[in-house]
Amino acid sequence: MRSPLVTLVVGPLAVGLLTLAACTSTPARLPLADARTRYAATVTAVANAVGRDQGVSWTVRDSSTATSRSEADTCAYRSDVLVTPTYLGRAQPWAQVKATVDGALAGSGFEPATAVEGDPGGWLVLTSHDASGATLTLRAKGSSEVWIESVVSGSACR
């Protein structure tokens, strides 16, 4: 029979260690080729939905990039950065932009966006994450832009 003191001490300790392990685990990273396909489609879906809802069009400001990282077998990927000259959230409520983004993200593997209003630089910002550790960012200040960044697996960033 276990001593009540052992149960009292070991039980919470085990729960704490399991919680710590869950918080520090690295998400399963996508291979670069899969990330390019998946995230390009997601950024396009979000831009198209926001474009229809807000009556704006988007252009590619910066093409996608993949950059080798010093940590072994990884590279940093960023999708095309799409930009519109429209200041989203200024004429329409930012909550409406968020609802449109959330609708576009449904089924993409990304969670609903978190709304951050009034970032220190004056940006209105939405972010969303997927299980592979990617971050979608839509931000507005004067103009508006959307992109996805992720660390992907594979030592070759091509």
Q: Is the pLDDT of residue 5 over 80?
A: no
The mean pLDDT of the chain is: 83
Paired with 152 in beta bridges are 75
Q: Is the pLDDT of residue 132 over 90?
A: yes
CA distance 32 to 52: 30
pLDDT given at position 47: 97
pLDDT given at position 1: 56
Q: Which of 25-29, 33-37, 87-91, 107-111 has the lowest mean pLDDT?
A: 25-29
Residue pair 31/153 in contact by the 8 Å Cβ criterion: yes
Q: Is the pLDDT of residue 101 over 60?
A: yes
* Average pLDDT of the segment spanning 121-148: 93
Q: Which of 45, 112, 40 is nearest to 77 (CA)?
A: 40
Q: Rounded to 5 degrees, what are φ and ψ at 120?
A: -50, -30
For the chain, percent of residues with pLDDT exceeding 90: 58
Angle between helices 94-105 and 32-54 (to 10 degrees): 140
Domains and CATH numbers, the chain: 28-153 (3.30.2030.30)
pLDDT-derived band at 36 (thresholds 50, 70, 90) equals: very high
